[in-house]
Chain A
Amino acid sequence: MSATLEMRGICKRYGSVRANRHIDLTVPRGRIVGLLGENGSGKTTLMKVLFGMVRADAGTITFKGKELRDHTPRDAIAAGIGMIHQQFMLVDAMTVAENVMLGWARAGKWLRTGEISQLIRNASATYGLELEPDAVVGELPFGHRQRVEIVKAILRGADLLVLDEPTSNLSPPEVAGLLGVMRRLREEGRSVIFISHKLGEVLEICDGVIVLRDGEVTGSCQAGNATRAQLARMMIGRDIARASPPAEQTPGPELMNVQGISMRDRSGFERLHQVTFTLREGEILAVAGVDGNGQEELVEVLAGLKKQTQGRIMLGTRDITVASAKARLKAGLAYIPVDRVNTSLVQGMSIEDNLGLRDFELSPLRRGPWLDRRAFRQQAVLRIAQFGIHCGGPDLAAETLSGGNQQKIVVAREIGRRPRVLIAFQPTLGLDPGATQFVVDQILALRDAGGAVLYISAELEEVLMLGDRIGVLYNGRLSGIVRRHEADVTKIGLLMAGIEEAAA
């Protein structure tokens, strides 16, 4: 069995971060290789190197016997590598056939829609894609759009397909369909690299598995003789430092009580299912989970930006189930969203306006019908000093600051008003170590001052270090809430991968 792809000793550094360290990856012809790892473990970097989007510092890539060196994505496609990203590169208003022809030089100078349609039908029959060439892409269900990407890659002659977390947005029947397509690809002698967090799927479909952690290969095995627990340990298994001092002293009275929150999105898909938890004074409930398992929906429902389909939310003795975002804020609920660019900050507004973004209609920032600019300025001067925001002055636009200082504005605004409950959704995402430390310290300080915090993160490590209690969100269900000292890393890893019986 000759190898389709051999990557040897791939190294890549970003500044002081070693994203890939001497990674070897072999994909034999007609095999599906699973690439497992947490966020930030180096999977994406490795695939970017393969596809020519990033140049490796060291290492060689041999594809179908030829060395790929200094190649561009265009070269990679020409050589026969097809990459299917999580975000599809499709034009919604065009048909399947038109999307396939788009940007494909071999489709010819003149549109030969009929011929291309026939090619699509043939491929569709061969691989069980069930694609209709004349269908408009925008009207296709999500799973079928993904198949349009697959057929694009196949028709362009891809012998190796890279699927980057292809199942994360699919419903269970769609996942089953995709796995079927992958089996057909394998039968036809094509190779697949399957990137996923989901252990069950990886074990079901893959021939071999490579596990990455912190940019290194921590394990590789034949899928046939691996177990979920083994893989989970390879992904996560390390000694967890217990850095943040836990607030074991006195869990105070209950501040927030969330009962049976469920939520369906517009297409009727259930994003949250019966989420129930309580938050006590002076504690952090940290929720782990792979992105896209309902985290965004949960925080937005709690903050009042989205409506739940059922359930009840109490803040102290007050029922805020139907309260507006503004009313919840007034009741003492602060919220740090994940998106700094478009949500938690208005990039073009001044720092002082951003510090008042959520309170501008309340005293002291508002005085009668006017905004009190002096109060804005006073608040800004105070917060800038309190939270050490590095800036040229409170009247500069937020966008002139670094990401870390931008996040300090958000933290200063949300924590500065001493909320009773803080909802923090990946507040350290994209921050450098210093800024991360700052945000974490502020959240710990809030807890020690008696605040309650719901901390949601895709980084298991953060969750284990910050949470006084720890839970896992998987597929819209919150489960396995335990005290930190009772937390079992393996169990949490399994819960994150959706294996419930192990945690029972």
Chain B
Amino acid sequence: MLKVFASKPKGAEPVTAFDKAAPSAEYPWSLLSGPKVWRTVLPPALAVALAFAVTALPIAISGKNPVLAYWALLRGAVGSIDAIAFALNKSTPYVLAGVGVAMCFRSKVINIGSEGQIAVGGVAASWIALSFSYLPSPILIVTALLAAGVAGAVWAGIAAVIRLKRGVHEVLGTLMLNFVGTLFVSEVLHGPMGEIGAGFPQSPLFSQAAWLPSLFPGANLHMGIAVAVVAVFVCHLLLWHTPFGFRLRVLGSSRNAAAYAGVSFARAVLEVMLIAGALAGTAGGIEVLGVHYRLIQGFSQGFGFNAVAIALLAGLNPIAVLPAGLFFGFLEAGALSMQREMGVPSSLVFVIQGLTMVFVLCSMGIGLKQQRV
């Protein structure tokens, strides 16, 4: 130490400290910039390929040709306009809820309550659709979707407030509210919103004014996917290009650093939960207005956990949630056709999904140190 202070600084530091060319990104285009693309794309792609390869084994054991089975799956997923529309519709709630979960997980807020938020979103949209069916179609649809978003946000907000005020971890809060939310659907279907004499817990069919319009004439593709795509890009911008996203990223990395950077933990948790809840709630609204045209018991079944899986598959990157969500949607759509044509049980798709998750998480574990925040 002694010598250190006594000595003069050793040689001037070079002024040009980094080797790469100066930044050339133009401002508007730079809005699309995020983390390096290949880092996000390569591991999941490999994981998917591995998952298919491994799943070929049980297909072969059951006496079916895996290549033919996968061909049937592919045709079922993308073989026709209708197939694609079906798969896109299936992907929509996954993408919406998944991108919200990705935002939460980014800031280390473990929201596993998408299912409940989707459920209450569906109830809110159905209530508007059934009660105000006299409104003009665009107003009715927008109001119903807004109500769905608000309901989902409130549902997530309850868990956030419990977390902040009572210290109950959000995993517990959101998980428990899933049960409450799905049972709430049953409750309204057995009571005020139920269709009399239907024999199944469902609401009456909505008036056509409340049905989501088609994106393209002739195709059975509702406009939900457009909402989902917009949501993905908005979340991307929020995360990488706004102070709000900066706060989330700092908070997700270190609580101490967040305090040092002047980031309020409570505010960030509340904000991100409200956003994720609103997205999931909207997904619920889209599902009832665009697919079922009525509220059905159990319509949100499994969506919540798929949303978590998709967010993780996407490496918690909003943009990557889009391909990840589409992958899940197309896989499930194709699986139904594989079952029909080849007699391969569609449940094998869950094997593929599960294996994909395992492989992706393994590759993320290896590459965790490179993950950018």
Contact = CB atoms under 8 A, between A and B. Distances in A.
A346 B263 CA distance: 13
A339 B256 contact: yes
A360 B18 contact: no
A371 B242 contact: yes
A324 interface: yes
Contacts of B6: 241, 243
A439 B281 CA distance: 52
A74 interface: no
A236 to B, nearest CB: 13
A350 B34 CA distance: 12
Nearest to B7: A437
Interface in B1-49: 1-7, 9-10, 13-20, 22-23, 25, 27, 30-31, 33
Nearest to B255: A342
A441 B9 contact: yes
14 contacts: A244-B5, A325-B259, A335-B260, A346-B249, A371-B243, A373-B33, A377-B23, A385-B15, A388-B14, A390-B18, A399-B369, A437-B5, A437-B7, A462-B5
Given A329-B262, A342-B257, A390-B17, A465 B5 contact: yes
B165 interface: no
B166 interface: no
B253 interface: yes
A433 B3 contact: yes
B254 interface: yes
Contacts of A389: 17
Interface centre among B2, B18, B245 (most CB of A within 10 A): B18
B370 to A, nearest CB: 8
Contacts of A437: 4-5, 7, 9-10
Given A384-B18, A437-B4, A346 B9 contact: no
Contact of A346 (B245, B262, B373): B373
A459 B1 CA distance: 9
Pairs A-B, 4 closest by C-beta atoms: A388-B13, A326-B262, A243-B5, A348-B373
Contact of B372 (A337, A372, A397): A397
B17 A349 contact: no
Interface in A357-378: 357-358, 360-361, 366, 369-374, 377
Interface of A: 40, 241, 243-244, 303, 305, 324-326, 329, 335, 337, 339, 342-350, 353, 357-358, 360-361, 366, 369-374, 377, 381, 384-385, 388-394, 397, 399, 433-434, 436-438, 440-441, 459, 461-462, 465
B250 interface: yes
B18 A394 contact: yes
Given A325-B260, A343-B256, A389-B17, A374 B243 contact: no
B131 interface: no
Contacts of B9: 437-438, 441
Interface centre among A244, A373, A392, A461 (most CB of B within 10 A): A373
A371 B249 CA distance: 13
B62 interface: no
Nearest to B246: A360
Nearest to B243: A361
B196 interface: no
Interface string B239-251: 0011101100110
B1 A462 contact: yes
Nearest to A324: B262
B371 interface: yes
Contacts of B18: 384, 390-394
Nearest to A466: B5
Could you tell me the dominant secondary structure of chain B's interface residues? Answer: loop
Contacts of A348: 253, 371-373
Contacts of B369: 399
B25 A373 contact: yes
Nearest to B30: A373
B261 interface: yes
A39 to B, nearest CB: 11
A326 to B, nearest CB: 3
Contacts of B1: 40, 433, 436, 459, 461-462
B254 A342 contact: yes
A348 B249 CA distance: 10
A369 B371 CA distance: 26
Contact of B256 (A40, A243, A244, A342): A342
Interface centre among B10, B16, B245, B256 (most CB of A within 10 A): B256
A461 B1 CA distance: 8
Given A241-B6, A360-B246, A433-B4, A337 B260 contact: yes
Interface in B213-272: 241-243, 245-246, 249-250, 253-254, 256-257, 259-262
Contacts of B15: 385, 388
Contacts of B33: 373
Nearest to A462: B1
A374 B30 contact: yes
Contacts of A373: 25, 27, 30-31, 33, 241
Interface centre among B6, B25, B245, B254 (most CB of A within 10 A): B254
Nearest to B256: A343
B17 A388 contact: yes
Contacts of B30: 373-374
B241 A392 contact: no
Contacts of B371: 348
A343 B256 CA distance: 5
Contacts of A394: 18, 23
Contacts of B241: 370-371, 373
Contacts of B250: 346, 349, 357
A246 to B, nearest CB: 13
Contacts of A397: 370, 372
A350 B240 CA distance: 12
Contact of A440 (B5, B13, B256): B5
Given A343-B254, A399-B369, 5 more contacts: A346-B250, A349-B250, A434-B10, A437-B4, A437-B10
Interface in B197-223: none
A346 B5 contact: no
B242 A374 contact: no
Contacts of B3: 433
Contacts of A335: 260
A409 to B, nearest CB: 11
Contacts of B17: 384-385, 388-391
A303 B246 CA distance: 21
Nearest to A300: B259
Contacts of A344: 257, 260
A369 B244 CA distance: 9
Contacts of A244: 5
A305 B27 contact: no
Nearest to B371: A348
Contacts of B259: 305, 325
Contacts of A339: 256
A234 to B, nearest CB: 17
